[in-house]
Amino acid sequence: MTRRVKQRYLALKIESAESFEEEDIKDAVWSAVIQLFGEYGASQAGLFFVQYDKQRKEAVLRCSHKALPMVQASIASVTKMKDKPAAIHVLRVSGSLRALRKKVSKQFL
Amino acid sequence: MTKFVDLHLCAPLRDIEQIKKMVTKSFELGYRLVGIPLPSNVELDEIERLRKICSEAGLDFVSRVDITPKNTQELLANLRRLRRKFEVVSVLCMSKPIARQAAKDRRVDVLSFPVAKPRNRFFDSAEAELASESSASLEIDMAPLLSLEGFLRIRLISSLRREVAIAKSFHVPVVISSGAANDYLLRGPHDYSALAMLFDMDSSLAFNALSEVPLCIVERNRLKLSSDFVAPGLRVVRRRDP
């Protein structure tokens, strides 16, 4: 029997003077993972974009529990999006989406 | 609660708004103490102005000077002149004799090496041995790791991996600093800890390099610079009323 793969949910804050589409964020994160860890590393990350709030510049991303340090390092290495200076900060990490939303709302509301 | 420290916030001193922005961002990211490098001829008013900006943002300010000497004589002259003026003294080692002299001098707090030239990174086992005896720390700036791309970044990561391994084996403390010149290059302590994994630094060592090690340097120097300090292990605890 295959064991269930543990997941981690990451709340992200996009910091830039510009406003970006969801595709731009996805491109930036995927490129960063591939640049730092290669296609093999990216294949193990299990990246999935859960949601993106363009107004608040916040996103939620899911990745494999084992690949969390790799994904965090890649996200931290993003300095540009569509050739514009930008940064992505990880606000919180959680094992479930519900707990993540609770933690983020506690922190910022 | 862990007190995170960024000892190398390279804020542009002429631009007050940018300094305020960077200092506020540092606080938001979780830092509680920041070191801003100052020119060696800085006025006391300037230091007080920066201290005020930082305290308004909720941060403790550390005055720091980065020395880039051309030879060992210049290094010694600078240390003699600047040691009692700044809380943290960092030496950017551009040659091997300078690196060796800086590593054995107890007045040097932090050793840093040029990023652009990997051959000029002289942190080898001999350097580490001297540094461990004089309690100098190795500083790793994270901004170049973010801004460099391709082959240059690969070379930098490889150099850092080698240096961290040497530092570990000789028990040389490592300090992780941002080295950021703008707010887009600032990252939180957890992000730096994840990035430190790239050069084989585990998370506990990385958090130590972002909190305890720099905090220890600052506290040690503040004690030495206080008027109550007499000699190592000896300080004035009470004065007789005049």
Domains of chain B: 4-235 (3.20.20.140)
Q: Which of A41, A44, A28, A1 is nearest to A86 (CA)?
A: A28
Residue B68 CB partners (closer than 8 Å, separation 6+) = B91, B92, B94
Q: Which of A27, A75, A93 is nearest to B195 (CA)?
A: A75
Element (H, E) at B89: strand B88-92
| Plot region of B30 (φ>0 → left; ψ -120 to 50 → alpha; else → beta) | left
| pLDDT (0 to 100) of residue B110 | 95
Alpha helices, DSSP H, located in A1-109: 22-45, 68-76, 97-108
Q: Which of B113, B84, B98 is nearest to B229 (CA)?
A: B84
CA dist., res. A84 & res. A82, Å (int): 5
Q: Which residues pair with B174 in a beta bridge?
A: B138
Of A15, A72, A77, the CB nearest to B146: A77
Chain A from 26 to 65: CB within 8 A of any B CB: 35-36
Question: The tokens 């300095």 sit on which residue?
Answer: A79
| pLDDT (0 to 100) of residue B115 | 87
Chain B from 182 to 241: CB within 8 A of any A CB: 182-188, 190-192, 194-195, 197-198, 203
Encode pLDDT of A53-69 as tens digits. 888 899 999 999 999 99
Fold of A7-96: Alpha-Beta Plaits (3.30.70)
Encode pLDDT of B112-171 as tens digits. 998 877 778 889 999 999 999 998 999 999 999 999 988 899 999 999 999 999 999 999
Question: The tokens 């506020």 sit on which residue?
Answer: B24
For residue A4, what are the CA distances in angstroms to A7, A66, A97? 9, 13, 17
Question: The tokens 């340097």 sit on which residue?
Answer: B217
Q: Is the pLDDT of residue B83 over 60?
A: yes
Q: Is the pLDDT of residue A93 over 80?
A: yes
The residue count of chain B comes to: 242
Question: Taking every pair of C-alpha atoms in chain B, what is the biggest distance, in angstroms?
Answer: 67
For residues A62 and A95, the answer to whether their CB atoms sit within 8 Å is no
For residue B99, what are the CA distances in angstroms to A31, B17, B105? 38, 36, 10
- Chain B partners of A77 at a C-beta cutoff of 8 Å? 145-146, 195
Average pLDDT over residues B181-197: 93
Chain B from 60 to 99: CB within 8 A of any A CB: none
Q: Is the pLDDT of residue B87 over 70?
A: yes
| pLDDT (0 to 100) of residue A3 | 73
Average pLDDT over residues A23-36: 93
CA dist., res. B49 & res. B47, Å (int): 5
- Chain A partners of B201 at a C-beta cutoff of 8 Å? none
For residues A85 and B186, the answer to whether their CB atoms sit within 8 Å is no
Task: Tell me phi and psi for residue B112, to 5 degrees.
Answer: -130, 155
| pLDDT (0 to 100) of residue B8 | 93
| pLDDT (0 to 100) of residue A62 | 94
Percent of chain A exceeding pLDDT 90 equals 70
Percent of chain B exceeding pLDDT 90 equals 76
Residue B223 CB partners (closer than 8 Å, separation 6+) = B229, B235
Q: Which of B180, B189, B238 is nearest to B215 (CA)?
A: B189
Chain B from 125 to 154: CB within 8 A of any A CB: 145-147, 149
Are B195 and A89 inside 8 Å of each other by CB? no
- Model confidence band, residue A109 (pLDDT cutoffs 50, 70, 90): very low
For residue B219, what are the CA distances in angstroms to B52, B165, B174, B176? 20, 26, 16, 17
pTM, two decimals, is: 0.91
- Model confidence band, residue A107 (pLDDT cutoffs 50, 70, 90): low
- Chain A partners of B187 at a C-beta cutoff of 8 Å? 76, 87, 89
CA dist., res. B16 & res. B116, Å (int): 29
Using a CB–CB cutoff of 8 Å, tell me whether A77 touches chain B.
yes
Q: What is the mean pLDDT of chain B?
A: 92
Distance from CA of A22 to the nearest CA of B (A): 20
CA dist., res. B214 & res. B178, Å (int): 13
CA dist., res. B93 & res. B99, Å (int): 5
Strands (E) in chain B, as ranges, are: 4-6, 31-38, 60-67, 88-92, 110-112, 137-141, 174-177, 229-231, 234-235
Percent of chain A exceeding pLDDT 70 equals 94
Distance from CA of A34 to the nearest CA of B (A): 12
Average pLDDT over residues A74-94: 93
ipTM of the complex: 0.89
Are A85 and B188 inside 8 Å of each other by CB? no
Break chain B down into helix, strand, coil percent, rounded to 5: 50, 15, 35
| pLDDT (0 to 100) of residue B59 | 93
Per domain, the residue ranges of chain A are 7-96
Chain CA centroid to CA A54, Å: 14
- Chain B partners of A38 at a C-beta cutoff of 8 Å? none
Strands B60-67 and B31-38: parallel
| pLDDT (0 to 100) of residue A66 | 92
pLDDT higher at B38 or B228: B38
Q: Is the pLDDT of residue B204 over 90?
A: yes
Task: Say which DSSP state B105 is in.
Answer: -
pLDDT higher at B29 or A2: B29
